[in-house]
Chain A
């Protein structure tokens, strides 16, 4: 809101100053990937594509090609999203609209499950996956990630279903459709924005996930971009930040593109948190 009672430039100045470190980090994140800087200087002085060589050069022995890793990450994020969204959409509808025994219990349970983030489960999940032989596979990580995001997904979808007018469903039933048809043909289209928002959210969250792949699928064949990048950073005694940043920008590009396209839908989820 702007007003005539007070000027806005002092505020602008204050915000600009405290945003400075972040802006510097963003700018250098991109600039450093295509330039070289003389040691000790702050201003880059040479243009180079050298730091992007990981895209076309053969990987060092013991390292996996970035393209395999990218494909893994894509499969991981997509499958997680599919599983999570399908389970959330059905469960959200059930909790929002359908009558069933123990409904309160389920709803409370899902809220409570939200209080079990990764660390409280990861030790036993690690052991379970080892016992059933899914350790070090993408399938294992996909299932775990989809499950860990499930309480939030159900909760968000329930919120969207709650906002669909009952009249739509009742009209459908009057016309002789079954509850399932009503859900599939009438209610689901109403919550499409919700499904889109949740999909984007889960996809981004899976794309960025670090701890789960690191613990549950650390070896080469199932590596994803986050573990690839962090291994790169941890391995090197002499850090080559320009190269790290290039890999980082490569890794972050889909996130930034998705953010620019789905800005509104994302705000729906992040901002809708209070609504429940």
Chain B
């Protein structure tokens, strides 16, 4: 590799390192996570194997035979060395030795059987209560014990005298694992969510309406301020540019205040006998109006600036000439200004489609998808599923799968845009080192 190459790569390396760590790896991990069932319940590190009441229920739900689940849940009584030692401590060596010599290795499926066997011994404890207690010392169960590996669990189960077919063994280890596992179910799950198509529709509606509003308003503002005397124009530009730089929490706060049931709109309309209500969250239609207004105005700020600078670069002589020819203002706009704005408009459309598709901050802050999911869009759904839901079980895997859909759409769209916006023009040949 040549020296010049090293210099270039060296200059690029800080950015490359950051991009690798915080862009490429996260994207790859998003893909990875979307094929897992990770959630708050499974945790993000490994899990363990434990048979308990809950996991037995899960096992039954997963289609295990009833008898199998029952045996797993049952305690069994095994005469082993550990039990004999315990019995020796509690009821004397003699009893322990007798148990050891006569019954070692025997198995009883219930306590009553073991008690019956004890009663046949000579040195058994006197009272029935003591016999019961002695029997308890031999109780063995796999319930409520954590095993780090599947092998440990299987060994323990077989040690307890429960025979498993390989099928049962696989079902058991798969169902009762508490950590996350690989799965491709997320995409099927996503398709099964009853409101998923509505959310997809909402997303399209949101992008189209907001884009139309912001391009329309942006164009209107750019053209009207162009025709105003410069002092008036710059104050209007300042008014309409502020939404872009105001922190979004504050911008949404202003709208909330406007729409609240004790807020400006309600107080104003009370004078005309309209009962106060929360105008933003009242009905789905109202929520949409506010969503489109809030996002549209922020988009219009950008549009106004971009279109404004494009209009300024139109040669003044063209406009003057048209005026001498007696063009009306509408004709000037239609035949001189708009044709010059073709590229900026296309750029804004391309850029905003992508950013709107994935943006949800203003919706999260204003309606949070409400009322009743009326304004839930795809990215907000992914956010709610993975990072912020009321049920408390955050489904990272499913959320990542939803986000992956957006990644795919994003990549496809930007490939198309690179074609349209003539990528080759952007790469200049270096002129010092060839």
Contact = CB atoms under 8 A, between A and B. Distances in A.
Contacts of A266: 245
A23 B396 contact: no
Contacts of B267: 40-42
Contact of B239 (A22, A39, A87): A22
Nearest to A125: B26
B382 interface: yes
Interface in A5-46: 5-6, 8, 11-12, 14-15, 19, 21-26, 28-29, 32, 39-42
A118 B225 CA distance: 34
B414 A112 contact: yes
B146 to A, nearest CB: 22
Instruction: Give the interface residue-count category, chain B.
Output: 35 or more
A231 to B, nearest CB: 10
A140 B27 CA distance: 17
Given A98-B8, A259-B245, A144 B253 contact: no
B180 to A, nearest CB: 11
B351 A226 contact: no
Interface string A146-188: 1110110010000000100010011001000001100100000
A112 B248 contact: no
Nearest to B355: A117
Contacts of A55: none
B386 interface: yes
A69 B278 CA distance: 31
A106 B427 CA distance: 11
A76 interface: no
Given A91-B11, A123-B387, A241-B257, A208 B248 contact: yes
Contact of B396 (A127, A166, A276): A127
B191 interface: no
Contacts of A6: 227, 328-329
Interface stretch (B89-97, B102-110, B122-130, B358-366): B358-366
B264 A42 contact: yes
B23 interface: yes
A61 interface: no
A80 B223 CA distance: 36
B434 interface: yes
Interface in A69-117: 83, 86-88, 90-91, 93-101, 103-104, 106-108, 110-117
Interface of A: 1-6, 8, 11-12, 14-15, 19, 21-26, 28-29, 32, 39-42, 83, 86-88, 90-91, 93-101, 103-104, 106-108, 110-128, 130-131, 143-144, 146-148, 150-151, 154, 162, 166, 169-170, 173, 179-180, 183, 204, 207-208, 210-211, 215, 225-226, 229-230, 233, 239, 241, 244-245, 248, 251-252, 255, 259, 266-267, 270-271, 273-274, 276
24 contacts: A1-B227, A1-B316, A2-B229, A3-B319, A6-B227, A8-B232, A19-B239, A22-B297, A25-B255, A26-B254, A91-B14, A94-B12, A100-B7, A101-B9, A107-B423, A108-B418, A112-B418, A123-B386, A150-B15, A226-B248, A229-B249, A244-B253, A270-B306, A273-B347
